[in-house]
Chains A and B, each alone.
Chain A
């Protein structure tokens, strides 16, 4: 039964997007006496029933350790875990399944690249190039690496709109730059970076590029080979999968040159006290028993996204984002933060001189969940000279009513602070 249900997900006609909301049980509840309006998917998205069921089915019926036992359950667990890897490979257009490394999330994937790929290559005076709009997870691992090696962290500026100044970014790519690490979509501002141009310019100078795709994967269709990204990192929990699972995509030729990130079980072929032979790719980078259920949940989330259709999702979210921005602009005293031409799924804003945290509390009291604060991008807040913003972020399950409720709740906020 379970088997045929899984097949039907893959072969079904695309689902109308308005019907998808009912797939997410977490949305069907009241918060503070009001129906929940969830506008915080950029922090973490809700999970659909197919993901929750895939994880529960695995835990109930198929759990054992992977890559080890000769018994049936271990085979089943391994098939499901490796099946999820295949789903990821297809989802992002990777050339080979050996290029897909399971990690705890985007953060671990970036740390892996910093420590395993960059660290052995870096000399004092070498440079790592990032941008001003990065999430802390694409800043701090590089700062740590700079401390370890004497390398320098170079930060490309952004414009008032919240878009990266691409010309300056490219001008900063000199012969001491060893890696360029940039977001695909800014989590605080929503700006979509012109990755093709950035990657081409970097490759022209033989500099590899890491892309922090955490905020992009649930909203844009990704093809790592068309992008020609050297490394692409993302997290499951922002794309309807569980927390604690993420992906590092890396070109096989690069992975081949990299020493393991962590040592332990599963990443070895043979261990002797006089030396250890490491496992082949990608297992060399997956020490210890992995997050099997998380990977299976991620695989199920990818099937779900495919069943809805990534193009349909992007079109729906773009329509909603335009409606959100227009609706916010209709409020006196609103200041939009992040107004780049090319954006996805996120709108940050300020309301008069009301602190974002106060906005967040009053909205929550009316059942509206948004993120408030610095969004793990404190340098962005410093750039605008503000302590933080209120941020509404969208996913495929949101609709116009959610935005109308947000706007009404903001009117209430103004009333209290009037």
Chain B
């Protein structure tokens, strides 16, 4: 009984790690970016997460600034906050590689990427990997990343997880 309780509690702790809770409580780069060059909205109709991400992308392709606003569960807000922390300073092609790796790792699909992408170190984004044990929450964790992808491609439509 004790062991079962401990391992179950561990699973929850994996999902709601201190870093996740910290970013959910105090999201970084939260707000609207008034001089954004790229933006996209992400909607998760299942739980009502609604995030808008803003990016200022320079002519050389470098992401100079990133912000987000909206509301969502702890996982989706923390993911968006971590995203903004991570992509500032990257160029868009690296950010897209990062997007592809994050989305496949969140699904627990570690072998999906090869070559250059296989070598990408997710750094603190790894904190989101606890969602693998919670299939219904993978969408929450990947929502902001889909919005990043959409913003870089300048898709005008809101992305939805459904």
Contact = CB atoms under 8 A, between A and B. Distances in A.
Contacts of A354: 74
Given A355-B47, A373-B47, A416-B16, A365 B73 contact: no
A275 interface: no
B39 to A, nearest CB: 21
Contact of A33 (B4, B13, B46, B74): B4
Interface string B61-82: 0000000000111110000000
A32 interface: yes
Q: Which 6 A-B pairs have CB atoms at the shortest separation, nearest pair first?
A: A357-B47, A355-B73, A357-B73, A387-B48, A388-B48, A358-B74
A111 interface: no
In the complex, which of the residues A354, A361, A372, A387 has the most CB atoms of chain B within 10 Å of its own CB atom?
A361
Contacts of B140: 357
A311 to B, nearest CB: 37
13 contacts: A355-B73, A357-B140, A358-B16, A358-B73, A361-B137, A365-B12, A372-B47, A374-B48, A381-B48, A387-B71, A387-B72, A388-B47, A417-B74
Given A361-B134, A361-B136, A32 B8 contact: yes
Interface of A: 32-33, 354-358, 360-362, 365, 372-374, 381, 387-388, 416-417
Contacts of B100: none
Given A32-B8, A33-B8, A417 B47 contact: no
Given A355-B47, A417-B21, 4 more contacts: A357-B47, A357-B137, A365-B8, A388-B47
B138 to A, nearest CB: 12
A357 B71 CA distance: 12
A285 to B, nearest CB: 32
Interface of B: 4, 8, 11-13, 15-16, 21, 46-50, 71-75, 134, 136-137, 140
A358 B12 contact: no
Contacts of A360: 47
In the complex, which of the residues A354, A357, A387 has the most CB atoms of chain B within 10 Å of its own CB atom?
A357
A32 B134 CA distance: 11
A356 B49 CA distance: 11
Contact of A355 (B4, B11, B74): B74
Nearest to B16: A416
A357 B73 CA distance: 6
Contacts of A362: 12, 16
Contacts of B72: 355, 387
Given A361-B134, A417-B16, A373 B46 contact: yes
Nearest to B70: A387
Contacts of B136: 361
A416 B75 contact: no
In the complex, which of the residues B12, B49, B136, B140 has the most CB atoms of chain A within 10 Å of its own CB atom?
B12
A287 B31 CA distance: 53
A228 to B, nearest CB: 38
Contacts of B49: 357, 387
A356 B71 CA distance: 12
A257 to B, nearest CB: 38
A355 B47 CA distance: 9
A356 B47 contact: yes
Nearest to A365: B12
A417 B48 CA distance: 20
A277 B50 CA distance: 51
B68 to A, nearest CB: 16
B47 A365 contact: no
Contact of A416 (B4, B12, B48): B12
A387 B4 CA distance: 34
Contacts of B16: 358, 362, 416-417
A362 B137 CA distance: 11
A55 B11 CA distance: 39
A24 B29 CA distance: 50
Nearest to A359: B73
A365 B9 CA distance: 9
B84 to A, nearest CB: 19
Nearest to A373: B47
B22 to A, nearest CB: 12
Contacts of B74: 354-355, 358, 417
Contacts of B47: 355-357, 360, 372-373, 387-388
Nearest to A381: B48
Contact of B48 (A33, A358, A373): A373
Contacts of A417: 16, 21, 74
Contacts of A387: 47-50, 71-72
In the complex, which of the residues B47, B49, B50 has the most CB atoms of chain A within 10 Å of its own CB atom?
B47
A182 B15 CA distance: 41
B4 A358 contact: no
In the complex, which of the residues B8, B46, B48, B75 has the most CB atoms of chain A within 10 Å of its own CB atom?
B48
A355 B21 CA distance: 12
